Structure 1
Amino acid sequence: MFADGGFELHLVGGPVRDAVLRRRVSDLDFTTDARPESTEAILRANCSTVWTTGADFGTIGGLFRGEQVEVTTFRADAYDRVSRNPIVQYGDNLVDDLERRDFTVNAMAVSVPGHEFTDPFGGLADIARQTIRTPASPESSFADDPLRMLRAARFAAQLGFGIDPETLDAMRRMAPELGRITAERIRDEFTKLLMAPDPVVGLRLLVDTGLAEQFLPELPALRMEIDEHAQHKDVYEHSLQVLRNAIALEQDGPDLLLRLAALLHDIGKPETKDVVPGGGVTFHHHDVAGARLARRRMRELRFPKADVQAVSLLISLHLRFYGYGEAGWTDSAVRRYVTDAGPQLDRLHLLVRSDCTTRNRRKAERLRRDYDAFEERIARIRAEEDLRAVRPDLDGNAIMELLGLPPGPQVGRAWAYLKELRLERGPMPREEAESELRAWAAREGL
């Protein structure tokens, strides 16, 4: 179609790289010498759906024979190296377009329909060497778009590649430049890194280069802390291992909220560290401090509110289980655990299991058995009482009718009392619930 219109068209970037690596190729990215208005006209004549959300950057997308495609005009971007976005300038040749791309492994192209392979910057050789390297000098590339430094760590995690020494050195020297990038772009790139097959590789790069210090300083701050649960590791190493443990327990693909909670579950320890007589170390209430810090950091990175709430809840609850096997819990305590976890209960199960990194096999086995028994107990109580929706035995209408109350805060207080009672005792017959409510109302003077 493009050739018939007198235009060049090349498959470019990630699809070419992934095809070389024999990885799954999904969305198809193309580059062309056609200007966006010509691209849009061609796609509208041949695609079932067309979108122009990227038109300001020269990109037109469409659905062609069931495949999602995006076609971008050759670029020769100019950067003022101060603002957060490039000034879009269109180029007139493929090589200049490839040179402005982030890494050599993404700077290869295949022409269509001719199928000519273009690799002016050695991307194929870098794939063979499993190396991440910039087409232009790393200083120039990162000065143009500092987010590329974060992207280098992400590709290392996704592909299992190392980073070229010159490129790595530039990342260390230029890490503060990341401050020019919007929180949303950093969040999106960091999320992609966390969802990689082995995000620990990328996270280590972020910490070692100083990039993490720019947007997640709580992570490098863990390196000097000692973990009281596993004396052979500091909290940083422990947290990375918990993340890997959590990934191993995932059953339905990568789970961003679980991975965030696993990585950040101990970030409250530096703030709560205390050395006790005899040389011991404690981190009292680090779960509370960690939930607060995670909530603040995720808000600054513009994560959705629901995600912030879920991760901070998981962190705040991750210690509650410890001591269950020794002290024993009442059914009421189990109900509260389930109720407080709410829809995050299944993730909480995985987080607590992942938090065991001890080399003491006997201790690890005991903790595993205890949690197996705990989950079985939850299942039993849930089957008996439908714990997923612990609600008072009387609803608001019944409360108002029984006590002769109008709608208002007094009804809410009565409802909260009945809920607490249900958590303590489990379901009650209606007569008993009504009797308890009347007694409470008398004590309250209602």
Structure 2
Amino acid sequence: MSSRSGHHHHKPHHHPHDHGRTPARRPAAAAMPASGAGYTIVHAGKQVRFGPLVFWIAVGTVVLLGMWSAATATYFAFRDDVLTRLIARQAEMQYAYEDRISDLRAKVDRTTSRQLLDQEQFDQKLDQIMKRQSALESRATALGSLPDVNVTGSVKPQGRAEAAPASGTAKPSPISDTVIFVAPPDREARLESRTPAAAKAAPSQFAKVQGVDSALVRLQTSLDQVERRQMAALASAEDGVESRLRRMRGVISDLGLNMAQLEAATPRSGMGGPFVPVKLSADAGAFERQLYRININRAQMQRLNQTLALVPYRKPVVGEVEFTSGFGVRTDPFLGRPAMHTGLDFRAAQGDPVRVTANGKVVSAGWAGGYGRMVEVDHGNGLSTRYGHLSEIGVKVGEYVRIGQVIGAVGSTGRSTGPHLHYETRIDGEAVDPQKFLRAGVRLSAG
């Protein structure tokens, strides 16, 4: 090692020749100061002299190398820990970023799921409304085929008058005060709603449309109102048909007529086809069941209409009913003695038209003693009518006549004191009071 001058290992102020006497047992080298400034390193008998600058440079270099070695050792000692912390920090930041992304994705998924759910619910509601609208349209069409049923079937009544049918309502028989059941033309009844406008909305825009739920609620309310009106109209139609059936059956019963015999005597027009039984589906609702009952009753009513077409319960003359003489015992206008009057005398003017009161076949048309000019019509099942004192006869024997057809004109022929119509109703050839049949006609026309 080198050392400064004055170190205890060296003695100061040695001369150069003293070097030769250095004991051989000394180790390798020794630095001795020269005269003046500087350091001398002795090694194996050789001296190397360094100036102070070089010496301190060497010392500084050694110190720097030592510090560098220490720093390097420290770096390598703590590098793994630093790297671990850096990696952990980086991982923590990455995890936080991924957590944030996951949270945002979850929010997007929830929003999308909610929108899809809302859209699905909207589509379901709209589909239900469309199905309900279709059902109400079918119901409105069915109601339109019923007689005397006035239902518009519109969701939003427009307040305009219902258009008149293309063909006018069938005119009543000129023998009024009587009922001839003629079904009016079918009415078109379409469900007019704003549902198609809602259906046209793009499904993806549901979340952006405001008030869609309230619009659906209003539409449902409108459909509820339509359904209530339809059910009320259907109930009214059923009550009307049932009431009319009761009256028709009651009339036949009151007149003492046999329903089976009347039906057997009813002429049949050409008809036919395969038999297809009427069935009511097991899942039919209240509307369908009620409509089924109405259709069954209507079919029965049509049969009764055909049967009652042979019953003379209508008036033979037009206008107010005024009798100049009733049925039964009366004073004979010519002899002044009690006599049996077998019919009703209707007040009428000369030449007024006389109309047949039921379908039938002319069995007599000509002069008949006290009847004067007389027409007799056979209605089948023992029922017949006579029309006397006619001034003119407009039919021939064997001719088939229908209700309300003119068969002659009022006159005063035969045993008569003035223009009037002598009208008789007979059952099995025996005269019965025509008023019994006329009252039945008034009962049928009621309601």
Taking structure 1 as the reference length, what is the TM-score of the superposition?
A: 0.24
Taking structure 2 as the reference length, what is the TM-score of the superposition?
A: 0.24
The structure that is strand-richer by fraction is 2
The structure that is helix-richer by fraction is 1
Q: Relative contact order (alpha carbons < 8 A, sep ≥ 6): 1 or 2 greater? A: 2
Q: Which has the larger radius of gyration?
A: 2
